[in-house]
Chain A
Amino acid sequence: MGERERETEGRLKLVSRVVEKVISGDVRTVARLIRDIDDGIPEVRQALKELYSHTGRAFVIGITGAPGVGKSTLVDQMLSRLRSRNKTVGVLAVDPTSPFSGGAILGDRIRMQRHSMDEGVFIRSSATRGHFGGLTQSTRSAIDVLDAMGKDYIIVETVGVGQDEIDIVKSAHTTVIVVIPGMGDDIQAIKAGILEIGDIFVINKADREGADKTLTDLRLMIEMDQKRYEEGKWKPPILMAEAVFDKGIPEILEEIENHGKYLMKSTGSLNFRKEKTKVREELKEMVKSRLIQAVFYQLTESGEFERAVESIIEGKVDPYTASDNLVLPAVGISNS
């Protein structure tokens, strides 16, 4: 056996050990694997490939809403309820990266810290990092890892502002959108893009003034969405909650369960791996990020990308032609 074969074999052994440990629920291994995913370490692909057949069992809940509406507090209370039913839960809390420093303060954990000693709960904070298309991909992979680890539920919490955050939530079985009274125009703002993906709406901090008006506004907006009123389609309920006081949580969980039953009835399975639209969506994301990884990194590594930038500045070429020249040969399409 040559040096090279031995090295490959050693690496494969290491990967299968990682896979074994993830499946057995080893917290440190899971935590490190998610870090490797976030950091874009190429070796994780092998582990993810092997973990794939162990995924598809968890029920994934997406929670999104503007900053300060109480998403983390809501998740905290949901954790308590799910744990009292002996369900294990993984939480992925995504916060934005500062575009200026590249750093991030990840504070969602503050509200959930009381669950940190509970072995049935795994909480992970991550930052959006601004890598293009990569956020959705890395969060999806992290969901897979927690799924393979054996968690019954996975809750993904994001600030629903950018397209990426909306896309992450799309990979959930049930998406919960959280708003608060008195947001006025902000409710208008969620129309664009987010309203369509909500399966359940929660008006949190419902003891505040204006809750009824928010309810009316939301109801109106949902009713205007004609697609919702096709026969047999899921009609998103709007629920009132006061997460800090643990009010309204059982109702939210009940609706999540109802939505799960609806999915079960309409698609025949809760396993995403068997559902065409989800598989198509997932594969599309993966092809996108694979292309970027494979092509873009190669172009930057070889210096071709920088040379093209220079050529554009010098007026020798336009960016349309330059991007054709860079991408087409790399993916094996003749440039004509």
Chain B
Amino acid sequence: MQKRKLRVMVAKPGLDGHDRGARIIARAFRDAGFEVVYTGLHQTPEEIVQAAIQEDVDMIGLSSLAGAHMYLFPRVAELLNKSGAEDIVVCGGGIFPDEDISRLKEAGIKEVFSPGSSLETIVKWVKENVKPRGG
């Protein structure tokens, strides 16, 4: 039988228009053999969660560089919970003050990557921590 394939979503919530990082991450995920749904810029948490459910992804990777992560990231986790989709792993990347990182993790963001995290580290983390549904 065919093996289940990991499906992930890379999303940019909020107002910043800098998606170079998100796109590089998307490519790294593709090269690691994942199916990557990219939503594009300026997404609301509501749109991201609906898209993730329709696409049946195993993980959402959020990228934010505009400083609104303390609202946007936990809101995605909260909406997933409300929709009964708490099994979808959420992780985030961007520039965050150190004290925010532990608070994001408390809010249900499973891992947070800062500038300097290598693509290799991120891909390895996903492979170890996110499993395809039913797998």
Contact = CB atoms under 8 A, between A and B. Distances in A.
Nearest to A91: B54
A38 B7 CA distance: 11
Contacts of B95: none
B33 A103 contact: yes
B85 A28 contact: yes
A28 B53 contact: yes
B29 interface: yes
A200 B96 CA distance: 51
Nearest to B46: A117
A36 to B, nearest CB: 8
Contacts of B7: 35
Contacts, number: 94
B113 interface: no
Given A34-B56, A39-B2, A105-B26, A116 B51 contact: yes
B20 interface: no
Interface string A5-36: 00000000000000000000001100110110
B61 to A, nearest CB: 13
Interface stretch (A50-58, A107-115, A190-198): A107-115
A276 interface: no
A117 B83 CA distance: 13
Given A40-B1, A117-B46, A103 B29 contact: yes
B133 A32 contact: yes
Interface residues of A, number: 36
Interface residues of B, number: 35
Interface stretch (A119-127, A215-223, A233-241, A281-289): A119-127
A22 to B, nearest CB: 14
A48 B109 CA distance: 36
Given A110-B38, A117-B46, A123 B30 contact: no
Interface string A70-105: 000000000000000000000000000110111111
B84 A103 contact: no
B1 A297 contact: yes
**Interface residues of A, dominant DSSP:** mixed
A35 B46 contact: no
B33 A101 contact: yes
A333 B4 CA distance: 34
B40 A39 contact: no
B51 A39 contact: no
Contacts of A109: 37-40, 51, 55
B103 interface: no
B110 interface: no
A106 interface: yes
A107 B4 CA distance: 21
Interface in B33-84: 33-40, 43, 46-47, 50-51, 53-56, 83-84
A278 interface: no
B54 A31 contact: yes
A97 B134 CA distance: 22
B119 interface: no
Contact of A113 (B29, B32, B40, B56): B40
Interface of A: 27-28, 31-32, 34-35, 38-42, 97-98, 100-107, 109-111, 113, 116-117, 122-127, 129, 131, 297
Given A32-B56, A35-B7, A113-B39, 9 more contacts: A27-B54, A28-B83, A31-B55, A103-B33, A105-B36, A106-B35, A109-B51, A124-B54, A125-B37
Q: 4 tightest A-B contacts by CB?
A: A110-B40, A103-B30, A40-B2, A31-B56
